[in-house]
Amino acid sequence: MTKPAARTVGELEAAGGAPRSLRDEIRANLLDNLKSGADLFPGILGYDDTVVPAVENALLCGHDLIFLGERGQAKSRMIRAMVALLDEWVPEIAGTEVHDDPFAPVSAVGKALLAEHGKDTPIKWVHRDDRYAEKLATPDVSIADLIGDVDPIKVAEGRSLGDELTIHFGMLPRTNRGIFCINELPDLTEKVQVGLFNVMQERDVQIKGYNVRLPLDILVIASANPEDYTSRGRIITPLKDRYAAQVRTHYPETRALELDVVRQEARPPSADGISLFVPPFMEEILGEITMQARSSPDVNQTSGVSVRMSIANYETLCANAVRRALRLGESEAVPRVSDLEALVTGTAGKIELEYAGEDRTETDVVMDLARRAVRAVFDVVAPAEGVASIVESFNQGWNVEVSAAMPAGDYLDGLDAIDGLRDAAAALAGGDSPERLASAIEFLLEGLHLSNELNKAASEGGARYGAASSA
């Protein structure tokens, strides 16, 4: 939609313009959205039957709302997506600080301009992207930042302290007729939270003890971690009460959904001349590592395990495979189980451990999560009857060495001599290239080891698999 042509209040009125509140505007656009079946939150997966209906109900009711959820649950993305429910262009009186409606100004400046110029009052058009403001709550955020303060320069010019024109407005008044978001609301000091009371309920502001009647038309949305909201009790009760809707977000409920998010959001590295292929079983392992972390007693569950961990792990795993391909001169980069060790640095930085110290390091915890994930995926994709012959070959004396730095072609030496290994690997590999087969072979060997069917001994830079009965 192009910017409308009206340039004065009179032209706007002649074009059919009329005052409309923010909540009516959002409600009307949401109803159109629902009728057309358009996606209110494009790119947000897994919330269709839980979070989205609750948000739609709140917006239809015109409620201020707060999102409760652990980190990495798309709270900020959902809030920012609500900007699409605003009209693309809205008029305001030119020269005011608080986006005054040309038909119903709330500021002293806007009222004075309309009284002086009448229908010749100039207007300007504001795009919906400019009607959204966001503030990360920190303990040093002040009333002046959010609401405003007396401007000493204006006082020195001779204006009265009680005059609205002495006020330098903060972010909330400057977002009048728009959406204002406060992220991590509990981190605001109690004094600042008290300062929000009038904005949330009476829709006016109070600055330095002066009651400045400024009936703001604003939707106030907040986000918070449930631990802060309930356990530490840092949102004061009267402010909680002013949020008419409380929407609880959550992590993907299944591994498949987790992977859908990863595939959508991940940006794996690439290199000229090298194609990247991630076998389905390696994707499943990545998703399962996160699922294991979200139920592990070693991980602090109150802080959450973000989907960002899965995304970062996917990108890191791919990066390790690309590096190997470049160093070995291979044409295809395919992640292997031995590449999982590369995830320690990223995973450890995205979880808070309950038990870590000299006896149990972060690396120990992360690699234990990886082993459990490999075993869980192996049990699903590699049925016992399909690998029994492989175990039998090892029982007859076979040993196999693997490492993240080993060329893929080395995995194929003697492949046909181990009964059933080629067929099992080919069924998992998704292709017959040496790189894909090498990845599948590693997965099968590690899965058999974790199932107590093979023994695994650390070797220089890798591991050696042999019969379970061998030392």
Average pLDDT, the chain: 88
CA-to-CA distance for 126 and 128, rounded, in angstroms?
6
Same domain, 229 and 93: yes
**Per-residue pLDDT reduced to its tens digit, 67-109:** 999 888 999 999 999 999 999 999 999 989 899 999 999 888 8
Q: Are 135 and 142 in contact (CB under 8 A)?
A: no
Same domain, 244 and 328: no
Same domain, 347 and 442: no
Same domain, 46 and 186: yes
Instruction: With cut-offs at 50, 70 and 90, classify the pLDDT of residue 376.
Output: very high
Same domain, 190 and 278: no
**Per-residue pLDDT reduced to its tens digit, 262-289:** 999 999 999 999 999 999 999 999 999 9
Same domain, 392 and 288: no
Same domain, 114 and 186: yes
- For residue 190, what pLDDT is reported? 87
Query: What length does the chain have?
Result: 471
The count of domains in the chain is 3
Residue 3 lies in a domain: no
Instruction: With cut-offs at 50, 70 and 90, classify the pLDDT of residue 159.
Output: low
Same domain, 354 and 389: no
Same domain, 236 and 260: no
Strand, helix or coil at 358?
coil
Residue by residue, DSSP assigns 390-403 as: HHHHHHTT--EEEE
- For residue 344, what pLDDT is reported? 92
Structural domain boundaries enclosing 347: 253-380
Same domain, 143 and 228: yes
Same domain, 239 and 171: yes
Q: Are 127 and 116 in contact (CB under 8 A)?
A: no
Q: Determine the average pLDDT of the residues in 353-372.
A: 81
Q: Determine the average pLDDT of the residues in 297-308.
A: 87
- For residue 357, what pLDDT is reported? 57
Q: Are 221 and 64 in contact (CB under 8 A)?
A: yes
Residue by residue, DSSP assigns 233-281 as: --S-HHHHHH--EEEE----SSHHHHHHHHHHH-----BTTBEE---HH
What single-letter amino acid sits at 214?
L
Last residue in a domain, options 331, 364, 380: 380
The count of other CB atoms within 10 Å of the CB of residue 167 is: 25
**Per-residue pLDDT reduced to its tens digit, 113-155:** 999 999 999 999 999 999 999 999 988 898 889 988 877 666 6
Instruction: With cut-offs at 50, 70 and 90, classify the pLDDT of residue 360.
Output: confident
Check whether 471 has a pLDDT greater than 60: no
Question: Backbone dihedral region of 37: left (phi > 0), alpha (psi from -120 to 50 degrees) or beta?
Answer: left
Same domain, 230 and 81: yes
Last residue in a domain, options 345, 362, 380: 380
**Per-residue pLDDT reduced to its tens digit, 227-240:** 755 444 478 888 88
CATH number assigned to the domain comprising residue 144: 3.40.50.300
